[in-house]
Structure 1
Amino acid sequence: MSPTRTRRSFLVQAAALTLTAPALLHHGAQAAVANPPRIDWDATPVRLMMVESKGCIYCEAWRREIGPGYPLSSEGRAAPLLPIDIDGPWPDGLALERRPTITPTFILLRQGVELTRLEGYPGDQFFYPAIALMMTRAGIPTG
Structure 2
Amino acid sequence: MTYPGLLASAFLLASSVAVLAAEVQLLMFEQPGCIHCAAWNKEVAPEYPLTEEGRAAPLRRLQLRDPLPEGVELVSPPVFTPTFVLVENGAEAGRIEGYPGEDFFWPLLARMIAEAAQDGEAAQD
What's the TM-score bracket when you normalise by the shorter of the two chains? Answer: 0.7 to 0.9
Alignment counterpart, residue 139 of structure 1, candidates 99, 117, 125: 117
Q: TM-score, normalised by structure 1?
A: 0.65
* Root mean square deviation, CA, Å: 1.4
Identity, % of aligned positions: 48
**Aligned equivalents of 1:50, 1:83: Cα separation in 2:** 5
Q: Distance in 1 between matches of 2:51 and 2:79?
A: 27
Unaligned runs of 5+ in 2: 1-20, 119-125
Residue 64 of structure 1 aligns with which residue?
42
- The change in CA–CA distance for 1:44 and 1:138 in structure 2 (over 3 A counts) is closer
Match of 1:20 in 2: none
User: Relative contact order (C-alpha < 8 Å, sep 6+): which is higher?
Assistant: 2
Unpaired segments of 5 or more residues in structure 1? 1-42
Pair 1:86 & 2:44 matched: no
Following TM superposition, the consecutive aligned residue runs of length 4 or more in structure 1 with deviations greater than 3 angstroms are none
Q: Could you state the TM-score of these two structures normalised by the residue count of structure 2?
A: 0.74
Cα deviation code 1:97-116 (max 9, x no counterpart): 00100110100001111011
- CA deviations over 1:73-105 (Å, ceiling 9, x no partner): 000000000100001143111110001001101
| Bigger Rg, structure 1 or 2 | 1
